[in-house]
Amino acid sequence: MSNWWKHGIVYQVYPRSFQDADGDGVGDLAGITDRLPYLADLGVDAVWISPIYPSPMADFGYDVADYTGVHELFGTMDDADHLIESAHDLGLKVILDYVVNHSSHQHPWFKESRSSRDSPKRDWYFWKDPGADGGPPTNWVSRFGGGSAWEFDEQTGQYYLHTYLAEQPDLNWGNADLRRAMLDVLRFWMDRGVDGFRVDVAYRAMVAPQWRDNPPNPDWKEGMDPYRKLQETYTKNLPDAHVVGRMLRDVVDEYDDRVLIGEVTLPVDRLMAFYGKNADEYHLPFNFNLIHSDWTAESVRAHVDAYEHHVPTTGWPNYVLGNHDQHRFASRVGPAQARVGHMLLLTLRGTPTIYYGDELGMPDGRIPPEMVQDPWELKTPGLGLGRDPARTPMQWSTATHAGFCPPDAEPWLPVGPGADVINVEVQQQETSSMLSLTKRLIALRRENPALHAGSYRSFDTPEGVFAYARQSPEDATDRFLITLNFTAETQTWTLPDGLYGTVEASARYGRRDDTVQGILALRPNDGLLIRIEHSP
Ligand code: GLC
């Protein structure tokens, strides 16, 4: 089936936190494989797994020491093969993370590169002499903590660039050998059956940087992320990122039916460039704008309308509400609006990505200071930047540790609050649970072309309400109206004249099958997915 990623739903698994099969308190590949039937039953189409590669775990796997291996914490290459095969047997695709911008400082490439100025791999990373004042070559700062992005290497007397931690040296995509090696990584995994990649910080990859100072950010204030003190004029979203995007796409296109997703944190207008001028870069440049938009009907509608307006006709939209770098969606908007948000996510035009546990409404975990793991939080404590709260164990059941690991194991992060009710076992039995709602919405999305392939049109509505219609490209009678109440009060909206429909799902109550026409009273924090039976 071609373009499965257009109609499908991506589910992100953070492998440390999904299911621990071997009892060391850290999730693993065998655990994910055990839980694939759950994902198939939920109705998603692809599982994207955050990095599983050998790594010293300075940034929990986003510091890769071997792109074609498996970390022993997660299992073996056989486990990876078994996971891929089991997923395919269940009709699920597998997407791996591809860390394009940097490796680990423990990668043999970097070890060799740092060994001497004459090393054949010296140029695989960015090495520079000290600046005029003997300090770092530019004023660039590290994304984590705001210290210099340059680390001095005593042995060879030069600095190397690290956009993230010093343990994550940046790769030089201007070097042909490095390029070949990195592109072969894609082939290695596709040969093993992997169906695509999520490219980490795709908008940062550099080929031929200009070594110039970044200007100060006039909007920065004390208490903000120190890294934001500078604007990133010379360090991100450069034309280079597109050069690399096209190279990756060329390789992905050597294989049938694979998908290339890019992590691109940019406003809508600049995001579009990552589809590629000739639709030759990312199939799906991740759209994080719902994460960054205020959670009001007006702001969300403005975003969706603008995004819809900008997505090129050769491109395909996508939406994300949460991931391993953000506070949990249910904590950002509250549990009631989390349900409305998922009705939105699963009824918009474009590929939705669901972060593990968000289908249950899992909130942020509470991490006592002595249990903090995330290097970002450790470097800038107390600013609310830490990502551990969104990485707590998946909540499977009412068992000890929510069923994430055996009772006698200690999970690497504490189980989040409310796990006695916010878990798969309990929510599977309740028809009105968030899990049952998510499952129903996914099923409706699959069954109805209007919802997975149809057009999008929004309506002018009273404040607090966002309403839009989806209509099948092939069948004019296959159409839906979605009305979402972003407030905790009842809102009324007069439906378009003559419109008559059946409610297929309610965000607040789950399944409903009453009919609507005329004046619609939308209950507090409710959303309705209405099948249009008649409309003039
Ligand atoms: C991406 C990842 C994040 C990681 C960073 C550096 O933003 O999502 O988790 O820390 O890149 O690789």
pLDDT tens column, 154-179: 999 999 999 999 999 999 999 999 99
Per-residue confidence (pLDDT) for residue 505, from 0 to 100: 97
Q: What percent of the chain has pLDDT over 70?
A: 100
Token pair 């010379």 in the structure block, residue: 234
Per-residue confidence (pLDDT) for residue 476, from 0 to 100: 87
Per-residue confidence (pLDDT) for residue 419, from 0 to 100: 98
Per-residue confidence (pLDDT) for residue 146, from 0 to 100: 87
With a cut of 90, say whether residue 512 has pLDDT above it.
no
Nearest to 146 by CA among 66, 222, 41, 203: 222
CA angle (454, 438, 79) in 5-degree steps: 100
Query: Pairing relation of β-strands 259-262 and 196-200?
Result: parallel
pLDDT digits (tens, 9 = 90+) for 324-366: 999 999 999 999 999 999 999 999 999 999 999 999 999 999 9
Nearest to 375 by CA among 171, 235, 169, 168: 168
Token pair 């440390």 in the structure block, residue: 16
Per-residue confidence (pLDDT) for residue 511, from 0 to 100: 80
Per-residue confidence (pLDDT) for residue 201, from 0 to 100: 98
φ/ψ (deg, to 5) at 208 = -145, 75
Judge contact between 172 and 206, C-beta under 8 A: yes
Closest residue by Cα to atom 3, ligand 1, is: 325
Assigned token pair, 349: 């035009």
Concatenate the DSSP letters of all residues of 416-449 into one string: PTTTTTSSHHHHHH-TTSHHHHHHHHHHHHHH-H
Q: How far apart are CA 308 and CA 208, in angstroms?
A: 33
Closest residue by Cα to atom 2, ligand 1, is: 200
Phi-psi region of 416 (alpha: psi -120 to 50; beta: other; left: phi over 0): beta
pLDDT digits (tens, 9 = 90+) for 12-66: 999 999 999 999 999 999 999 999 999 999 999 999 999 999 999 999 999 999 9
Nearest to 198 by CA among 260, 273, 252: 260
Ligand 1 centre to CA of 299 (Å) is 27
Per-residue confidence (pLDDT) for residue 92, from 0 to 100: 98
**Cα 526 to the center of its chain, rounded Å:** 26
Ligand 1 centre to CA of 288 (Å) is 14
For residue 397, give every residue at least 6 positions away whose Cβ sits within 8 Å of its Cβ, in sequence order, or none. Answer: 403, 423, 424, 425, 426
Tell me the helices (H) and strands (E) count for the chain, helix number first: 15, 19
Answer positive or negative: Cα dihedral of 306, 454, 516, 488: negative
In the predicted model, what is the mean pLDDT of residues 396-404?
98
Element housing 377 (H / E): helix 375-379
Ligand 1 centre to CA of 2 (Å) is 30
Looking at this protein, which amino acid is placed at residue 424?
V
Token pair 């429909």 in the structure block, residue: 501
Q: How far apart are CA 312 and CA 278, in angstroms?
A: 10
φ/ψ (deg, to 5) at 183 = -70, -35
**pLDDT interval class at 452 (50, 70, 90):** very high
pLDDT digits (tens, 9 = 90+) for 434-445: 999 999 999 999
Ligand 1 atom with minimal separation from the 387 CA? 9
Closest residue by Cα to atom 5, ligand 1, is: 62
Per-residue confidence (pLDDT) for residue 536, from 0 to 100: 79
With a cut of 70, say whether residue 1 has pLDDT above it.
no
pTM: predicted TM-score of the whole model, two decimal places: 0.98
Buried/exposed 385-400: b ≥16 CB within 10 Å, e otherwise: bbbbbbbbbbbbbeee
Residue 492, SS3 per DSSP:
strand
Q: How far apart are CA 350 and CA 8, in angstroms?
A: 9
**pLDDT interval class at 456 (50, 70, 90):** very high
Ligand 1 centre to CA of 379 (Å) is 15
Concatenate the DSSP letters of all residues of 180-232 into one string: HHHHHHHHHHHHTT--EEEEETTT---SS----PPPB-TT--TTS-GGGGB--
In the predicted model, what is the mean pLDDT of residues 443-466?
97
Closest residue by Cα to atom 6, ligand 1, is: 62
Judge contact between 185 and 109, C-beta under 8 A: no
| Residue 63 burial (CB count, 10 A) | 26
Concatenate the DSSP letters of all residues of 147-159 into one string: SBSEEEETTTTEE
With a cut of 70, say whether residue 227 has pLDDT above it.
yes
Ligand 1 centre to CA of 59 (Å) is 8
**pLDDT interval class at 473 (50, 70, 90):** confident
Closest residue by Cα to atom 7, ligand 1, is: 201
Ligand 1 centre to CA of 63 (Å) is 9
- In this structure, what is the dihedral angle of CA atoms 438, 440, 444, 447, given to the nearest 10 degrees? 110
Ligand 1 atom with minimal separation from the 376 CA? 10
Return mean pLDDT, the chain.
Answer: 97
pLDDT digits (tens, 9 = 90+) for 255-312: 999 999 999 999 999 999 999 999 999 999 999 999 999 999 999 999 999 999 999 9
Return the best residue to mutate from 62, 162, 197, 286 for the ligand 1 pocket (most ligand atoms within 8 A of CB): 62
Query: Pairing relation of β-strands 46-49 and 10-13?
Result: parallel
Closest residue by Cα to atom 12, ligand 1, is: 62
Per-residue confidence (pLDDT) for residue 513, from 0 to 100: 78
Judge contact between 160 and 180, C-beta under 8 A: no
Token pair 């770098």 in the structure block, residue: 325
Closest residue by Cα to atom 9, ligand 1, is: 325
Alpha helices in 235-275 (DSSP H): 239-252, 268-271
Ligand 1 atom with minimal separation from the 324 CA? 9
Ligand 1 centre to CA of 256 (Å) is 28
Q: How far apart are CA 253 and CA 232, in angstroms?
A: 31
Judge contact between 114 and 348, C-beta under 8 A: no
**Cα 184 to the center of its chain, rounded Å:** 24
Ligand 1 centre to CA of 366 (Å) is 21
Ligand 1 atom with minimal separation from the 59 CA? 10
- In the structure, which protein residues have their CB atom closer than 6 angstroms to any atom of ligand 1? 59, 62, 99, 164, 200-201, 263, 324-325
Closest residue by Cα to atom 4, ligand 1, is: 62
Ligand 1 atom with minimal separation from the 163 CA? 6
Return the best residue to mutate from 59, 97, 99, 107 for the ligand 1 pocket (most ligand atoms within 8 A of CB): 59
Q: Which residues are catalytic?
A: 200, 254
- For the chain, what is the largest distance between any 2 Cα atoms, rounded to a whole number of angstroms? 78
Ligand 1 centre to CA of 138 (Å) is 23
Ligand 1 atom with minimal separation from the 325 CA? 9
Q: How far apart are CA 349 and CA 189, in angstroms?
A: 30
In the predicted model, what is the mean pLDDT of residues 379-403?
96
With a cut of 80, say whether residue 535 has pLDDT above it.
yes
Ligand 1 atom with minimal separation from the 63 CA? 12
